[in-house]
């Protein structure tokens, strides 16, 4: 049988690992009686751990929230997971949390066993702080998350990518992170439809609005909706291109996210391609490193002509730089 102090630590570990345990389950896991479980729970409470108990059929024990943060027991993998998460924040896209996360990481490293400290150092030695043109404030994230949790309407000023500003009022549902950017998925009251908003372009207003009754989220939930929403941005323009190269050469270069091979043989491939604009499509076509023909639309021909003119000017500039005639 475990000594009392070791048993208390084992009991605390179990309570932190799962939301609720019955007395019989804890007794079986610790090889003690249910009476000893009750005594050990009382000792944990004396040490400041808020252990809640419910009686009757289906009753049990669970670790509640206290007035102060008690010490946590983490296994090796959990320690590394927390440390790596904190390190990611220090190099991530939340603007004003770097100092707090760095402080927490320093405290965690001080109490780490040397074996874990060495593993953490090995995992993070290549971490380099990243610069972001549009960092997000931790306070803004917290304010939006609170409105989502409380199901309260949110008012904010919003700046679109073209610089247009407007006042929006939404029913906020979820914060979703995509890459290094944070988005809010919510129901836009004025447009009566689902919308996604970049958090770095939002300026929330206080106080928040009245409570609302949550609507069913779109298919795939907030994450699925955001993926479709972002995909629509990069599919604003489409074109049909014939690449004069064999199918087995072109096919590995085409990703489903931006293109579809419609036909192909040993000499040519016909593709439907998508992008945020025809200009970006024209600039990107050189990546095939092969001759190509624009099938449509006609506007893409003008964009390709502009790209060709730009490269002619660039080539002339380089020739002048090395003393060659125009």
Does a structural domain hold residue 326? Answer: no
Shortest CA distance to 86 belongs to which of 107, 105, 111, 113? 105
> Tell me: the pLDDT tens digits for 232-256?
666 778 889 999 998 888 888 887 7
Residues 225 and 282 in one domain: no
Q: How many residues comprise the chain?
A: 326
The predicted structure's pLDDT at residue 184: 93
Residues 227 and 290 in one domain: no
Residues 180 and 249 in one domain: no
pTM for this prediction: 0.53
Residues 18 and 83 in one domain: no
Residues 116 and 53 in one domain: no
Residues 119 and 50 in one domain: no
Q: What is the mean pLDDT of residues 252-267?
A: 80
Q: What is the mean pLDDT of residues 278-288?
A: 88
Does a structural domain hold residue 129? Answer: no
Question: 14: domain CATH number?
Answer: 1.10.10.10
Residues 225 and 199 in one domain: yes
Q: Which of 77-91, 208-222, 291-305 has the lowest mean pLDDT?
A: 77-91
Domains held by the chain: number: 4
Question: 184: domain CATH number?
Answer: 2.30.30
Continuous segment of H or E residues that includes residue 238: strand 237-243
- 244 contacts 251 by C-beta, under 8 angstroms: no
Residues 250 and 312 in one domain: yes
Does a structural domain hold residue 69? Answer: no
Residues 147 and 225 in one domain: yes
Residues 144 and 224 in one domain: yes
For residue 185, how many other CB atoms are within 10 A of its CB?
Answer: 24
Q: How far is CA 39 from the centre of its chain?
A: 44
Does a structural domain hold residue 70? Answer: no
**End position of a domain, from candidates 63, 86, 103:** 63
Q: How confident is the model at residue 1 (pLDDT cuts 50, 70, 90)?
A: very low
Does a structural domain hold residue 68? Answer: no
Residues 247 and 314 in one domain: yes
Shortest CA distance to 281 belongs to which of 246, 306, 251? 306
The predicted structure's pLDDT at residue 204: 92
Residues 164 and 206 in one domain: yes
- 60 contacts 20 by C-beta, under 8 angstroms: yes
- 171 contacts 209 by C-beta, under 8 angstroms: no
> Tell me: the pLDDT tens digits for 13-27?
788 777 788 888 888
Question: CA Rg, the chain, in Å?
Answer: 29
DSSP 8-class letter at 253:
G
184 to each of 105, 171, 225, 274, how far by Cα in Å?
28, 10, 11, 25
Report the number of secondary-structure helices (H) and strands (E) in the chain. 11, 11
Rounded Cα distance between 272 and 40, Å, is 68
**End position of a domain, from candidates 200, 215, 233:** 233
Does a structural domain hold residue 184? Answer: yes
> Tell me: the pLDDT tens digits for 78-130?
766 777 676 666 555 566 666 777 777 777 777 677 777 776 666 554 444 44
Rounded Cα distance between 268 and 301, Å, is 19
DSSP for 108-125 reads HHHTS-HHHHHHHHHHHT
Rounded Cα distance between 4 and 27, Å, is 14
In the chain, what are the helix, strand and coil shares in percent, each to the nearest 5? Answer: 45, 25, 35
302 to each of 13, 119, 126, 236, how far by Cα in Å?
67, 56, 45, 18
Q: How far is CA 73 from the centre of its chain?
A: 27
> Tell me: the pLDDT tens digits for 168-191?
999 999 998 876 678 999 999 999
pLDDT surpasses 90 at 152: yes
Question: 265: domain CATH number?
Answer: 3.30.70.250
Give the domain range for residue 152: 138-233
Does a structural domain hold residue 130? Answer: no
**End position of a domain, from candidates 184, 207, 233:** 233
Does a structural domain hold residue 50? Answer: yes
């Amino acid at each position: 049988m475990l000594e009392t102090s070791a048993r208390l630590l084992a009991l605390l570990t179990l309570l932190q690992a799962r939301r609720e345990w019955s007395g019989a389950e804890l007794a079986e896991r610790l090889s003690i009686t249910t009476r000893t479980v009750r005594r050990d729970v009382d000792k944990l409470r004396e040490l400041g751990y808020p252990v809640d108990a419910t009686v009757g059929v289906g009753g049990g024990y669970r670790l509640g929230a206290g007035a102060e943060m008690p010490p946590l027991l983490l296994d090796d993998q959990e320690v590394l997971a927390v440390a790596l998460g904190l390190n990611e924040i220090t190099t991530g896209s939340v603007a004003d949390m770097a100092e707090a996360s760095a402080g927490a990481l320093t405290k965690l490293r001080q109490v780490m066993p040397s074996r874990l400290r060495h593993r953490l150092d090995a995992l993070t030695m290549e971490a380099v702080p990243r610069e972001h043109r549009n960092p997000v404030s931790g306070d803004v994230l917290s304010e939006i998350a609170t409105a989502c949790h409380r199901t309260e309407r949110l008012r904010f000023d919003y700046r679109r990518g073209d610089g247009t500003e407007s006042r929006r009022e939404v029913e906020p549902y979820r914060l979703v992170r995509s890459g290094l950017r944070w988005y809010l998925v919510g129901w836009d009251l004025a447009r009566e439809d689902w919308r996604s908003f970049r958090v770095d372009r939002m300026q929330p207003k206080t106080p928040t609005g009245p409570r609302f009754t949550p609507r069913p989220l779109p298919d795939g939930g907030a994450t699925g909706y955001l993926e479709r929403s972002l995909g629509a941005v990069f599919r604003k323009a489409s074109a049909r291109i014939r690449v004069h190269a064999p199918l087995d050469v072109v096919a590995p270069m085409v990703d489903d996210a931006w293109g579809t091979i419609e036909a192909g043989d040993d000499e040519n491939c016909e593709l439907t391609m998508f992008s945020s604009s025809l200009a970006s499509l024209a600039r990107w076509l050189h990546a095939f490193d092969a001759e190509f023909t624009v099938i449509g639309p006609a506007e893409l021909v003008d964009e390709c002509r502009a790209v060709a003119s730009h490269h002619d000017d660039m080539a002339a500039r380089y020739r002048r730089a090395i003393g060659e005639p125009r």
